[in-house]
Every structure is written in C-alpha cells, then in structure tokens.
Structure 1
C-alpha cells in the first residue's frame, strides 16, 4: 500500500505498471474509521493534459488530492507515479492556508520553493494579473479568502512544475480572476504540463478540461474525454420520475431535450456540458448517464 514510482519502460508491463506518461491508481481505497470515502479506484490519469474531477461535496475529491500529494496514504491499493514526477509537483488546496504573520509576498516566496520575486518575471506578471500588488506587504492574517486564494495560486503557478494538482482552485475568485486562471491553465496545457483539478465550477470542467471524471459512491466514472472547446455535446440519461425530468428540462444548460420512455437525450454547445454534468450530479443522476459524446 502507498505511493510508488512508475515503471520507466515504454509501455505497461505484465504487472500492470503504468506507462511513463500516466499516474496510476490501482485498487485504491480510503477509509476513515467506519466510513469508506474511496472504494477500489482503478484509474490512469494521463499527463500532458488537463483532468477535472467533479462531484457532490463530501464525495472524496479532496481525499484524492491529498493522496496524490502524499498528505495521506491509501487504506488499500497503490498509487504509481512516473519517475521524477513527484519532485516536480505543485499543489493548491481547498483551504488557502497561509503563514498568518508573513506578508503575502513572503508567503509566495516560501510556498513556491524560495523563488526570488525580484528576479522572477513570472512572479511580477502573475501578481499583476491577479491584482495582488496592493496587498503584497500586508500580513496574510489580514487578507480576505479570495486574496489568500490568489496568493496560493500565484505560489503554485509561478513554478514551472510538470504537474499541478488543485482542490477547488476557483473558490473565492471573482469572474475576472477565474478568467485569468482559465487562461493560465490553457497556457500550461500548451506548454505540455499537466493539471489535475477538482471542482464544481464550470471553469474547470466546461472550459479547460480534456478529461472529465465524476466521483460518487466512492467510485470514479470517466464521463468523457473533452478534446476541445468546439462542437456540441450529446448526452443520454435515464431519469427516475417526472420531478427529475423537470429538473433537467428547467436547466438552462440543457437546450435541446428529446424524451423516449425513461431516457432523455440532451444536446447543446460543448461549453455547456460541464455545468449540466454538475446539475445531474446534484440530483444523483451521475450513475444514470449512459453516453456522453462530442459531436460537430
């Protein structure tokens, strides 16, 4: 049980070891006393891409992030990383905890691995983008939640880490900062770096993600591989009753609905897919989704 480096070979071995461009979870479970949060996860997270994990509160999203960051160990199973990747990781956690007596600038310096802000053009660029200039010299204990979130994002993103894992990274951000964050994620993807992020915000799932998972009942379901922001989606879901169908019909993200018996086929713009999946998860319909595809 625990975390291990991945095989350095060019492909999967007979022992089920991952390719060097994947993080592999094998039979990973996590229990807290009598509660099972994760139940036998078997999943490969592709690198050089953006992966989003969504799901209701308490479903286990934060637990996955903690396991990937080695802040917790699986109760059963194993997590395997490509060689060297764990030395090139940055993280953003759900609660933007900072050193309260250090300034915002000092926190960025410490959390980013002792960068030297004055010599780092990326630092200056990110501080300007997130409008942190006026609070850089203020103690962290005086900052708002949104300002502390921006500090943690700058600290993580200013490094050129190969992998950034983030738990609800857009919580506390205003619309301008969310747009900035989305552009930065797109740039990271263009540089061949990897992102694994949790969230219930469509900025994550509907805009920047290439691979989308939902966690429910301790299991991860691969909803769809999202190749681009263009095109439309088509989704087939089984609904339980008239009230559930009305929830789908009333959802502004579901623009074209065809009902056949107990199944509803929903179509719409690709960028509406993320928010729609969140609505379906909120009413417990994730397990009732039969097919999601991107169409022209």
Structure 2
C-alpha cells in the first residue's frame, strides 16, 4: 500500500507539472494574440493607405519588437499612421504604451518613429504633417507596457535572462522541466521501495569480535573472507570469554565450565587452548586474550 509520504510526492509532482504546462500554454496564447493583433494592425495600415488588395507579410519578431512587412510599396502621412495604429492597439488591447518605428526596407534606416504613453507626460509624435514618399517600408512595434487587463488575464511568465538565453539557443525549458519532475517522482518511488524493503534478519549465532565474525552454531571464525574452523572446546572457550568481554574470568570457573571434572591435567590443557585462540585471533591487533596472573584470563576488545 502506498504510504502518505509517497502520495504527497506524487501530488507535488503532478501539481508542478500542471503548473509548468499551464504557464507555458498561457505564454503561447498571449504570444499568438499579439501576432493576430499585429496582422490586424497591418491590415488597418494598408486600408488607411488606400490599399485593399496587398497582403501583410508574416509577422517577424526581433528581440522585443514585432515587425510588419507589406507585399507592396505604400505612401502615408505620419498623422494618419499614428491614428490608425492607435486605433488598432485599442481595438486589440495589446498595449497601454508602445513605440513605433518605420524603417526603409533597403537601407534599414528609421525614417519615422514615435512613442505613445509610457513614463513620458505626453505622447511623443513628431513631424505628423510630412508625407512619406511611396516606398517599401517595415513598421516595428515595441510594447513598452502591456495592457493591464489583458496582461493579467494571460499572465505570461516574466522572462529571466537565463530563459532568454535558452530560448535564443532554441532550447525549450519545458522539455527539461517535465523530465526533472519525472526524476523526482522516481527518486520518491526508490526511497519508498528502500524504506519498505525487507530487512535482512539478524542471525543470533553471529557475533563480532573486532574484525572477526564468530558463528557460534557452526563454530567458525571468518576474517576478510577466510573461514577458520574451531574445535568444540575452542568454540566453547571463546563463547565463555565473550560472555565476560573486557572482564577477567577466573581460571577455576573456566575449567569447571568447559571441562568439568576431567582430572588435574586439564590445567595445562587450558593454557594450550588459550594459545590456540590467540593464534586464531592474531590478525586483528585490537583483539587480545591476556593472562591475569594468579586469577585467570581476559578477552580485551579495543574500541
């Protein structure tokens, strides 16, 4: 059963994914609205110039401005152009302040420009009575301040320098966002699976002695993959010393526990088995079996 933790991760991932898709869709819709509005503006400019048959060429976006091109040459008075474009802007609602620049197609020189709204106290519209001769012109439209109502409806994301750089290189940041969310989800699933993974059962027969592992049942010591088999007496003696690790075990107690009443010779036998265990454990210097003179033996584990 999926835990509440995993449900939360999935919910957050889905929410972020929906938010990214929604923001991207809103930005696309906003951009398309501007493109349509520019075509409306171009159509109105042609009509004001007395041309009802020529086409408006595809809208071109150069950095932060939109370019209007026309199939035929045209002639116009600046004052008529100002009124025509302002009417189209108000009709489409794309901007509350803007800049218009008219360039010659061949030279690329700006032959006329003006600004409406913005931070200036009044509109900057120069030379309105001078007729521009018939020629090929391109009109560039820059939105200085979007229409507040329209902008709040579409809420296009504020473009950061980083996103601008990605877009300039043809990189769709959404293509990175969704895989990132998927990766986050996979990490959550992995953590969940690890959390609920059956843990290996602890073997009560295994005991650590420094770097060694002592299996009481099989009477084996293991050290870095090497298996050392112990005799039953060696194993019993080691178990007894482990029960009193870092404490002295009296000699008489060891003899009685391991050998019982097997005769007086077993005293020397104990010393032999202690020597054997020391040999078995010598690879780890943190493990020592020391002789406490006149009392017995002590298994010392350092650290």
The answer, yes or no, to whether TM exceeds 0.5 is: no
Query: Which TM-score band applies after superposition, normalised by the shorter structure?
Result: under 0.3
User: What TM-score comes out, normalization by structure 2 length?
Assistant: 0.19
Structure with the largest fraction of helix? 2
Largest Rg, 1 or 2: 2
| Bigger relative contact order, structure 1 or 2 (CA pairs below 8 A, ≥6 apart) | 1
